[in-house]
Structure 1
């Protein structure tokens, strides 16, 4: 402070600076919230495509329900989850390119993603063709395995549609063009429900009809977004063109795509592992039923809160690409705060209704009592997941997919699952022990990512983002404090 400077004037200046900072924080929170809400609709619509198919098929017979449930689980881990994870590279690349106003690169990166995801769908399809033999090797019931294999075989067209759809979703998300995605996803869902019912029950196609209807819905959704991208004036500068640039971007795409897929798939696989392990317990039918109910509820919550994670990823990436480290930090903080509120509301509601909500899944007293008993552990899991999903979104927006993958492996496979095995089989906590292991893994992962983000040098990350998208030396002086 200067000697002759008025202390009152200094105090006023500091107060004005604090007001300005508070105003920016609220603005970032508004940006995140306004994007998160419609993204919830997009994610839930996609989730309900498979969920409604399972419900519709489930009314035919218990065997059909078991077959589609097993097939859907296998397809998600080995196929859709892989493509979903790989497309996460666009959250870094397209998001930061948009912030840096390198609009032509957004379409170029998206076309690269579409090409490689489409190509990767071929080996996945071949794997699905041998699914029956794979499931039998895993000691699954032959009848259930056969139905699951038929379901996945007819689901192959959906896989290719999904490869195009997810790339387009990331394309629109990076530009905060959410309305066309909401419109297309809700339209696809509205068409899917009657179509699936007709194909399953009216035309007696069973699981084949359910799989085919999902494929039709994915392709219609993708076509709608493609047409909007080609026709809308809002996409003129970022429009996707068929270009040989796909080969120029191969290295940088896979640099983020592979660890992004690992982040996603390894986490999903951890939940599938405990479901398989529950089948080895003495009362396997009860244990598997309860774990499946917890997993379904957790998946539903994942798709709900993932909208906040998507908003966090986009806003952080845009701000870093624009060379605004303070904006990136404030966007990350805003998303974490929203996640905190959401987690408290959802987990509290679930806990208070612990004697009621199990009725949604079962009328069997033994199952209901067990689910009620495990609900407190599930509430902690949901609490951690809310933070974890948003923190993972920030990781993708920043370009730390490798860090996220390493943290994932450490948390679940070196700590979480071994603890679950110990509690389940040696200390005889059974299914509760398995779920405690998963909660331990997600809690550790949340704490590590919190520390990583808390000690982040945002100015350095903004410089790295600008270097990644454009000329390194040109961007350095444009990064603001």
Structure 2
């Protein structure tokens, strides 16, 4: 007799256990001759197992036929007859109070699987729910349907040969198995709380359903802490500009040049590479592949730390020669090079913080980075002031970058401690050589992400270089305008992150309608904040400009150009949130191509013509920049309106299959290959349907083979 078992190449030995095992009962009759010791079972049990789909079914026998019912919940525990209802359990939730009679057992014979499952349904629905943790009727129905589906699968076994079939669909229908797996993973306490639970009909998980009002509320719930996070994080840069700008126009121009080079060579690439995680990590989490969430984050971290080395060489030894080639102000270039030689030591902390932020957001943990920034953003303001102006420890201009370095490092340490000891550690994949393998998909997404972000950032910096040709006052005014516009840009960008995460979750669960609804919700929210941004900038432009400079000429020029800056917010906000939807779809390359065309074919040439040929100077530069962003927003809107969502979902499935080639191995169960590792994550802990167990004992062969 033979049995086809799941391939363990990528599963790392973890499969789901809906329920097991009553003493003296064989849940799968005697059809399976495979015998093993299930890790965690007490020694007096000889266990048999058979795997199919994403479930393990275990039969247990013992010589002590009078012993009480045993339930696996990380270890075998003994219960008296009053507690035999605990047939189903997970790592942390106890006493679901599902009656033992839900599965027909006989202490001296095998489990009998009846053709008629109505008694199972009646038993569960009639059982009093007042004392049950699963008091919610919807969750009860999910449990009933899951058990009925299991009964159907058990009936596929014959006495002659055991043919392993996925829990959902047939072995030939790999995508169906994946879809069901992804949807089933949404049925957890966290996803139910986020309105992401999948209903069950006829034993199959259905697409996630949501309405526009609910989705808008959920999007705001996720976006508000992100808005706070991004604004507080950018305040670290703003505080340097704010305090240094009050020293003098030359110092303000120097900070502008230093930020120009830092954005192009470090911060832009870092943001672009980590944008790949906004696709990879949420989709992995959406299909309950927790190990991959951690692997993607670690691969990204290693890549970014490698890129820090050439940045160190460039900023320390090459910044002044490079800046002096493009900017005629020698004093500003010297100060900028000095600023960068200190700032480079804060980049590792910034890298760790950004990767951890994406890693946690993929798990739905949006508040962690906000808490960290609530602590350190005010501290950074005080530290910058002290290190610039304090008579005892103040160092003047160079104190500003030193404050940023200290703050970035401490923020990374605090967020790392939060992840390790409070929440988010559940997706940690452990130390593995897999860190250095399979970088192709991350690089494939990171490349367009870098282009998408750098194209926009570099356009701003080219505008700053053009502004420098009009004099120090124009360059200082450009620094003020850019700082204000980038600060308010954090609002739509935060909304885009929330939108990309939810869209990726819905794509991960193959829920087309919910993904479309989520896209509509993010557009509505962006419209609200666009009106707010335009109003604030246009009405308070004089007051805001005076915060960054005491030079009256700089304030006057900044206030004049900020009228255009206010109008610029309309296409900029729209382009930002639509770019988030594209990232959720895994289509960063669309935004990359658009930004290249709109900025370098339209915006910059038009800015040059209006600024220099028609003598509009700084105002002309911003009119040209606005035209390019408007083109990007219009095209992205047109593209998303005409998106083939079915194709997007299919491409997501195909991409996973391509990156898991062993799924096509006929000896392997495809549904088992992407099962999560045995982690006490929030999803695993509170998933009443499919708790997880560790299948492979220590030293067992992890290769795909027949047992």
Maintained 8 Å contact 2:210/2:517 = no
In the alignment, structure 1 residue 53 sits paired with structure 2 residue 240:
yes
Maintained 8 Å contact 1:150/1:207 = no
Equivalent in 282, 286, 309 of residue 496 of structure 2: 309
Within 1, Cα distance between the matches of 2:394 and 2:551?
30
Maintained 8 Å contact 2:245/2:548 = no
Shift in Å at residue 22 of structure 1? Answer: 10
C-alpha offsets along residues 423-443 of structure 1, whole Å, 9 cap, x if unaligned? 222222222221111000000
Shift in Å at residue 36 of structure 1? Answer: 0.7
Equivalent in 648, 667, 690 of residue 461 of structure 1: 648
In the alignment, structure 1 residue 349 sits paired with structure 2 residue 536:
yes
Give structure 2 stretches of 5+ with no counterpart.
1-207, 665-669, 672-707
2:438 equivalent in structure 1: 249
Aligned length: 453
In the alignment, structure 1 residue 220 sits paired with structure 2 residue 417:
no
Sort the Cα spacing of 1:217 and 1:433 in 2 relative to 1 into closer, same or farther, 3 A: same
Within 2, Cα distance between the matches of 1:86 and 1:22?
32
1:131 equivalent in structure 2: 319
Equivalent in 50, 74, 87 of residue 274 of structure 2: 87
In the alignment, structure 1 residue 280 sits paired with structure 2 residue 469:
yes
Higher strand share: 2
1:142 equivalent in structure 2: 330
In the alignment, structure 1 residue 122 sits paired with structure 2 residue 312:
no
Report the 3-state secondary structure (helix = DSSP H, G, I; strand = E; otherwise coil) of the residue aligned with 1:155.
Answer: helix
1:167 equivalent in structure 2: 355
Sort the Cα spacing of 1:416 and 1:67 in 2 relative to 1 into closer, same or farther, 3 A: closer
Within 2, Cα distance between the matches of 1:464 and 1:109?
19
Which stretch of structure 1 is more off in the superposition, 301-310 or 65-74?
A: 65-74
Shift in Å at residue 353 of structure 1? Answer: 4.2
In the alignment, structure 1 residue 333 sits paired with structure 2 residue 520:
yes
Which stretch of structure 1 is more off in the superposition, 326-335 or 131-140?
A: 131-140
**TM-score with structure 2 setting the length:** 0.61
Maintained 8 Å contact 1:111/1:241 = no
Shift in Å at residue 77 of structure 1? Answer: 2.1
**TM-score with structure 1 setting the length:** 0.88
C-alpha offsets along residues 216-237 of structure 1, whole Å, 9 cap, x if unaligned? 21122112222222223x4353
Which stretch of structure 1 is more off in the superposition, 114-123 or 462-471?
A: 462-471
Which stretch of structure 1 is more off in the superposition, 55-64 or 335-344?
A: 55-64
Higher helix share: 1
C-alpha offsets along residues 195-235 of structure 1, whole Å, 9 cap, x if unaligned? 33333333233344322221221122112222222223x43
Equivalent in 393, 410, 421 of residue 580 of structure 2: 393
Sort the Cα spacing of 1:362 and 1:408 in 2 relative to 1 into closer, same or farther, 3 A: same
In the alignment, structure 1 residue 106 sits paired with structure 2 residue 297:
no
C-alpha offsets along residues 168-216 of structure 1, whole Å, 9 cap, x if unaligned? 1110111220121111122122332333333333323334432222122
Which stretch of structure 1 is more off in the superposition, 359-368 or 132-141?
A: 359-368
Shift in Å at residue 399 of structure 1? Answer: 1.0
In the alignment, structure 1 residue 296 sits paired with structure 2 residue 517:
no
Within 1, Cα distance between the matches of 2:425 and 2:543?
51
Within 2, Cα distance between the matches of 1:264 and 1:366?
32
Equivalent in 377, 399, 403 of residue 209 of structure 1: 399
Sort the Cα spacing of 1:240 and 1:381 in 2 relative to 1 into closer, same or farther, 3 A: farther
Which stretch of structure 1 is more off in the superposition, 23-32 or 448-457?
A: 23-32
2:219 equivalent in structure 1: 32
Maintained 8 Å contact 2:250/2:472 = no
Shift in Å at residue 332 of structure 1? Answer: 1.3
Within 1, Cα distance between the matches of 2:601 and 2:216?
36
2:52 equivalent in structure 1: none
Within 2, Cα distance between the matches of 1:334 and 1:135?
44
Report the 3-state secondary structure (helix = DSSP H, G, I; strand = E; otherwise coil) of the residue aligned with 1:241.
Answer: coil
Sort the Cα spacing of 1:286 and 1:54 in 2 relative to 1 into closer, same or farther, 3 A: closer
Report the 3-state secondary structure (helix = DSSP H, G, I; strand = E; otherwise coil) of the residue aligned with 2:365.
Answer: coil
Within 1, Cα distance between the matches of 2:243 and 2:551?
21
Maintained 8 Å contact 1:125/1:156 = yes
Maintained 8 Å contact 2:246/2:549 = no
Q: Once superposed, what is the RMSD of the aligned Cα atoms?
A: 2.4
Give structure 1 stretches of 5+ with no counterpart.
1-20, 476-481
Equivalent in 230, 238, 246 of residue 427 of structure 2: 238
Greater than 6 Å deviation, 4+ residue runs: none
Shift in Å at residue 62 of structure 1? Answer: 4.4
1:16 equivalent in structure 2: none
In the alignment, structure 1 residue 267 sits paired with structure 2 residue 456:
yes
Equivalent in 415, 424, 429 of residue 611 of structure 2: 424
1:323 equivalent in structure 2: 510
Sort the Cα spacing of 1:192 and 1:378 in 2 relative to 1 into closer, same or farther, 3 A: closer
Which stretch of structure 1 is more off in the superposition, 218-227 or 356-365?
A: 356-365
Shift in Å at residue 61 of structure 1? Answer: 4.6
Structure 1 or 2, whichever has the larger Rg, is: 2
Within 1, Cα distance between the matches of 2:539 and 2:384?
35
Maintained 8 Å contact 1:395/1:404 = yes
